[in-house]
Amino acid sequence: MGQLITFLGGGSQRQRVAVAATRWFGARGRPALLVTQPPAFELAHQLGVALGPAPVSFALDCDVVQLQAVSLMEQQWEDLKSLEAQYLKSPFFKDVYGQELSIFPGLDSFLVLNALRGYLARYEAVIYCAPHDLEGLRLLGLPTTAEWYYRRFRQVFESSDLNRALAPFVIPLTAAVTNFSLETPNLQQPLDRLEDLFTQAQALLADPQRLLAYLVTDADPVSVTAARWLWGSAQQVNVRVRGVLGLPSGADLNPADFAPLPIYPLAIPAGVWEVPLDQLPDFGRPAAVPDPVRFEADQVFVFLPGFTKAEVKLTQYGPGLTIEAGDQRHNINLPPTLKGRPIRAARFQDSYLIIQF
């Protein structure tokens, strides 16, 4: 499986950096894919290639693809119908065609994430250029969020009166409409497959060498504030930010605004679109940065740079903790030593929310 790299902030400048990162890998003989979504007219113009749903080469060991939700939907619908035929005696999805399906809000994130998963198995590096920063972060956090919903609601349903009332009818009903019965291990296969997808995606998020994110900003105070906000928002989905790329030159950036992140000044001559490769970070050896969440004895340390105490909300409902910041909620599973224990105190210090049990 390859590395997944994304960039946050910088507006249209983000595309320039993403192209340079793709070339960085290609220059080292490591096949890389630049992934974008519509619209990307400037990118197509600068690369001199026609962007489409199939990867095309724009340099040695450098490909680019423009993910289109409708094309992805057609592919995934055929996979779904194959899965349905495997488990149901009388499949009914066969009468619906992928070419007639429209895209409703939110569905494209699932489609794009699945496409990224497939490309990571084919390329040493996949550089994902999301159309919007927060949308890209939520997409990267989708495996963790979906797994939490699956686990939490499954737990609630299994302990409900409705589940107990329906239980006597489930076995005969399942036997009537599927190719297996609940008394065989086949029922667990689709659930195991789903849980395996969650596990693979979460392993990518947890691997500090495989998922890399970088901030792109100039020295304008508003841009710096936005970049810091994105830095904190990335922690909310367990994405580690590895550095700051300063455009048009990082010399004017205040290191204290982004400590402990390294700053990489990108001095680009006027009128030049391409970013010099020798000014980019070493993506093969990313800088060490704080973990989004750390457990120590009776304390939980949550790294939330870019936010003030007033912008962070802590709640304790259910079995874990919920951190609300950056228009996102981060559900934290507690270790066995802390589960079931109430919060005694919490304070915000040096970009950390420190929770005492």
Could you read off the pLDDT of 106-154 as tens digits, one per residue?
889 989 999 999 999 999 999 999 989 999 999 998 888 888 888 888 8
Check whether residue 212 and residue 320 sit in a common domain.
Answer: no
Check whether residue 269 and residue 309 sit in a common domain.
Answer: no
- Give the pLDDT score at 104: 86
Radius of gyration of the chain (CA): 23
Find all residues with CB under 8 Å of 307, minimum gap 6, and list them. 229, 232, 325, 326
Check whether residue 21 and residue 116 sit in a common domain.
Answer: yes
Q: Compute the mean pLDDT over every residue in the chain, rounded to the nearest whole number.
A: 87
Whether 170 is covered by a domain: the verdict is: no
From start to end of the chain, where are the E strands? 3-8, 32-36, 56-59, 62-66, 125-128, 211-217, 241-246, 263-265, 293-296, 299-303, 313-315, 321-325, 328-332, 345-349, 352-356
Number of domains the chain is built from: 2
Whether 94 is covered by a domain: the verdict is: no
Whether 287 is covered by a domain: the verdict is: no
Residue 353: both structure tokens together? 């929310």
Check whether residue 269 and residue 321 sit in a common domain.
Answer: no
The percent of residues above 90 in pLDDT, for the chain, comes to 61
Could you read off the pLDDT of 163-174 as tens digits, one per residue?
666 666 555 555
- The whole domain housing 48 covers 3-70+102-145+203-279
Check whether residue 43 and residue 112 sit in a common domain.
Answer: yes
| Final residue in a domain of this structure, among 256, 279, 302 | 279
C-alpha dist (Å) from residue 229 to 197, 248, 315? 30, 20, 21
Check whether residue 128 and residue 60 sit in a common domain.
Answer: yes
Could you read off the pLDDT of 201-245 as tens digits, one per residue?
777 777 878 999 999 999 999 999 999 999 999 999 999 999 999
Q: What is the CATH number of the domain that holds 272?
A: 3.40.50.300
- Give the pLDDT score at 9: 96
Whether 254 is covered by a domain: the verdict is: yes
Check whether residue 20 and residue 138 sit in a common domain.
Answer: yes
Check whether residue 334 and residue 275 sit in a common domain.
Answer: no
Check whether residue 66 and residue 38 sit in a common domain.
Answer: yes
Number of Cβ atoms within 10 Å of the Cβ of 180: 16
Whether 182 is covered by a domain: the verdict is: no
Whether 192 is covered by a domain: the verdict is: no
Q: What is the CATH number of the domain that holds 316?
A: 2.60.40.790
Whether 40 is covered by a domain: the verdict is: yes
Q: What is the DSSP letter of 18?
A: H
Whether 191 is covered by a domain: the verdict is: no
Q: What are phi and psi of 107, to 5 degrees?
A: -65, -35
Nearest one of 9, 304, 246 to 130, comparing CA atoms? 9
Check whether residue 237 and residue 337 sit in a common domain.
Answer: no
Check whether residue 247 and residue 124 sit in a common domain.
Answer: yes
